[in-house]
Chain A
Amino acid sequence: MTAQLVLFGILAAIALVCGVSMILADNPVRSALFLVLVLFSVALLFLSLHAVFIAAVQIIVYAGAIMVLFIFVIMLLNLGTPERVVDRLRPQQPLSVLAAVGVIAVLATVIASVPVKSQMLPEAIVGPSEIGLKLFTAEWLFPFEIVSILLLVAAVGAVMLAKKRI
């Protein structure tokens, strides 16, 4: 248990530090790279929860595909330089800390209702076969088909939006 705890502590620390650095960085490329680190540590946390398939998908889809898309658009629009526009909403920043405290308070009251104790759990590695069996049989098949249509619509929509002349 202690080894697990130490691993969790390290990963959580990496995730939190990189998350904070992400929103403090001026340069969008730096923010993106910090986000990649956060996503990697969350993927490792998924592994510590025995969700092997989700961890792999997290790295391939998020840290791979989505972040490449982000970096690509940053480079395409030449946004690699720090923000130089006049910040009209500067007074909003202290208020955002207030909002953060509010969100934390709400979440803390919910989390406080979960009993604190270490549980005995079965050793269950969830690989692709279990996920596949569940995804392609009765219960989750319909949402799966809907989400595939959603992805198709999104792909067509993105092309429509970004194209100069259709």
Chain B
Amino acid sequence: MIESIPLNYYLILSALLFTIGVVGVLIKRNPIVIFMCVELMLNAVNLTFVAFSRYKTDLGGQMMVIFVMAVAAAEVAVGLGILVSIFRNRASISVDEIDLMKG
């Protein structure tokens, strides 16, 4: 048995990382950077999962992290594919100009 630092520290750190991701999504206009901020948010959640998995001695948290990573990889592949096809059609990918589906 070893003494560990409080679980709160990990939770606070991942909350801060998540918030940085939220702010990034709100203020950036470049869809690639917005994707990166989403990745940052997913990573913050992964950190929470692993921390709880360690402190509850339950492997379920790490299983969830593996699935989150798989889904993130799928999301990035499809998202970047969409960006490439948008760029091919209009030679610009500023999120302000992509308003085709705006109601």
Contacts and interface: CB of A to CB of B under 8 A. Distances in A.
Contacts of A83: 29-30, 94
A76 B5 contact: no
A89 to B, nearest CB: 7
A70 B76 CA distance: 8
Given A15-B13, A96-B26, A123-B2, A88 B96 contact: yes
A89 B73 contact: no
B1 interface: yes
B23 A28 contact: no
Contacts of B92: 85
A128 B21 CA distance: 30
Given A45-B10, A46-B50, A130-B59, A99 B78 contact: no
B6 A54 contact: no
B13 to A, nearest CB: 5
Contact of B76 (A12, A69, A116): A69
Interface string A140-158: 1001000100110111011
Interface string A108-122: 100100101111111
A23 B20 contact: yes
Given A88-B96, A118-B3, A162-B84, A111 B51 contact: no
Nearest to A35: B36
A94 B77 CA distance: 32
A107 B18 contact: yes
A76 B18 CA distance: 29
A138 interface: no
- Enumerate the 4 nearest inter-chain pairs by beta-carbon distance, A residue then B residue, closest first: A154-B74, A96-B26, A161-B81, A158-B81
21 contacts: A15-B13, A28-B30, A31-B36, A38-B17, A39-B43, A57-B66, A61-B69, A66-B39, A92-B26, A93-B27, A96-B23, A118-B3, A120-B3, A121-B54, A123-B1, A123-B2, A126-B59, A147-B71, A154-B78, A158-B77, A161-B84
